[in-house]
Amino acid sequence: MPLSKTQLSDLPDPCQHAPFTRKSSSLRTAILTVISASSLLSLVHREPGGLPSFFSSRHCNDNPSILGALPPNVNSSACPQFEALYPAKHVLLDAELESLYATEDFKLKTYKSFSGAIQIPTESYDDNGPVGEDPRWETFQVLHSYFQSTFPLVYENLKVTKVNTYGLVFHWQGSTNAKPILITAHQDVVPVDPTTIDQWEHEPYSGLYDGTWIWGRGSSDDKSDLIEQLITIDSLLSKGFAPARTVVLASGFDEESKGTEGAGHIAGYLETTYGRDGFAMLVDEGGSNDIPFGGGVMFSSPDISEKGYLDVKVEVSTSGGHSSVPPPHTGIGILSRLVTEIEDHPHESQLLRSGTPFASIQCTSTYGPTYPNDIRRLAKEALSDDAALKQLEEELLAASPLYSAMFGTTQAVDVIEGGVKVNALPERTSAIVNHRIAEHSSVAELQEHLVDVLSPTVRKFNMTLNAFGHIAIRGNEKAGVVTLSDAFNTALDPSPVTPLEYGPYSLLSGTIKATIGSSTFYNTTGVVIAPSLSLGNTDTRFYWNLTRHIFRYSPGAATDVYAGIHTINEARRAESVIEGIRFFTKLILNSDESLSL
């Protein structure tokens, strides 16, 4: 029998939830504000006793005076957790597939399929021309042919659409009108530097399986996700599964360069086909899993937002002439003054309670067994004490430069040009400054900061300042011009922050916990979901219009990557590919039977 409003209001509050997004929404508002009992119960699974599972076994411990990590099964308002979510309606199918995935035959077949994809060098380059003009794109057709021959069931049962020739969209029609889910990856890989080939233990495109690792460029970024997704669909089809909720896979082919030819075109196709906000959720590559604080506690870190991006070109134009009669300051000298000013005025780092970094810190400090107790105490006090928040910020900034990157906008002068001959005054000099924009900032705020920082120097030399298409300072024409511009037309504001509320987030969290918690490969004592901020950008930057619920998560652990990504000896632990298939299987089955999306 449904609970009455009175009965529902009498339920114990399962923790006060602090806001996580930049706007005024909060987890407590999203989860506990209910118009009627029946509307709540239509969104959640019920236990045999009739109560929503969200309210079961939820105990909170938020006393900052108690040092030591909380066990993963004890909830905290500082880092709200959702329970592991296993398929219920599809429980028998899930069990059958788990048995299949554990067989040696399935594993070896999977490794062979993965190896074959790695052997096709789908490199994308920063200087790639448009599709149809640059023949280097043609290698992707080889990969497509490989997919079609390796996964015939997928191609026979799903609608496969090619977008801008090499973008792939797989549409698996559901039997209901429930919002579809979107799962994405990318086909391209970072080019292998030919001068480093002799430093690889195995050929970079060998796809060699040595009994533990599968070697080759793209094995970790991002052909593992791509192959895991296709094998998952193939496995479900082989068991006769027909989804109630439509499932869409999409993969771009230039994520490692501009993204505009692949995901840039796919985004338009998906919005036209499914509509704005047409998907219940999106899962793309991103954060993974690790045990950074001992005790066997696995932290899973789906990225719920990304920093913004801007490459600023600072160009100084001055009169040329013979260097035998030089001015007091050449264009190179003036540019050096400007660069010095930029580096002398870094962006302020701010740890904000409303930001994703604060949420991440609350999770690691709450549940990390070996997390420093003094920082743990500060983190708890920082929930409500401004002085503690500032001290926490200072302690973390002093501990590692990583926190500076998390808390603020970073800047790096990476490219500089100027001068053509030793006896000729430079007429044009320039520097390019790479910026990763803080979650709480914007492109416009960054541009304003640069104008404020550089204006005094521009005035000192009586020059004109053309800042992003507008004259900010009009000086003496003969003195020259300083021009600030978007170097490659790639300006990007920070992404929207995915809400951490019951629904897509709880489904993803529960699926991750169920996958890792039931794994016979990962030796864990518990799993904690710690939402994170991505310092880089993925193809999701093109997909903001498709859903508010964008998660960047790659199944697997940090120890499953041999030497890192984009580097020599890239390799993936073979067993982790099976774990990825287990995750995507549970994700599809859980979303298929969910009423909360």
| Catalytic residue chosen out of the listed positions 94, 222, 254, 255 | 255
Asked if residue 414 belongs to a known ligand binding site, the reply is no
DSSP state of 559: G
For residue 30, the one-letter residue type is A
Asked if residue 202 belongs to a known ligand binding site, the reply is no
Place of tokens 């990763």: 436
- The conformational region for residue 503 under phi > 0 = left, psi -120 to 50 = alpha, else beta, is left
| Catalytic residue chosen out of the listed positions 83, 94, 188, 539 | 188
- Note if 255 is an active site residue: yes
Which distant-in-sequence residues (6+ apart) come within 8 Å of 314 by Cβ?
A: 335, 338, 339, 342, 430, 431, 432, 433, 454, 482, 483, 484
* CB 225 within 8 Å of CB 249: no
HEC profile for 131-197? CCCCHHHHHHHHHHHHHHHHCHHHHHHCEEEEECCCEEEEEECCCCCCCCEEEEEECCECCCCHHHH
Tell me the C-alpha distance between 555 and 579, whole Å. 7
Asked if residue 486 belongs to a known ligand binding site, the reply is no
Strand partners, 241: none
Phi/psi at 596 (nearest 5 deg)? Answer: -100, -5
Asked if residue 566 belongs to a known ligand binding site, the reply is yes
How many CA atoms are closer than 13 Å to the CA of 345, on its beta-carbon side? 15
* CB 480 within 8 Å of CB 331: yes
HEC profile for 57-104? CCCECCCCCCCCCCCCCCECCCCCCCCCCCCCCCHHHHHHHHHHHCCH
Length of the chain: 597
Asked if residue 347 belongs to a known ligand binding site, the reply is no
Give catalytic residue positions.
Answer: 188, 255
Annotated binding site for Zn(2+): 186, 221, 256, 284, 566
Annotated binding site: 186, 221, 256, 284, 566
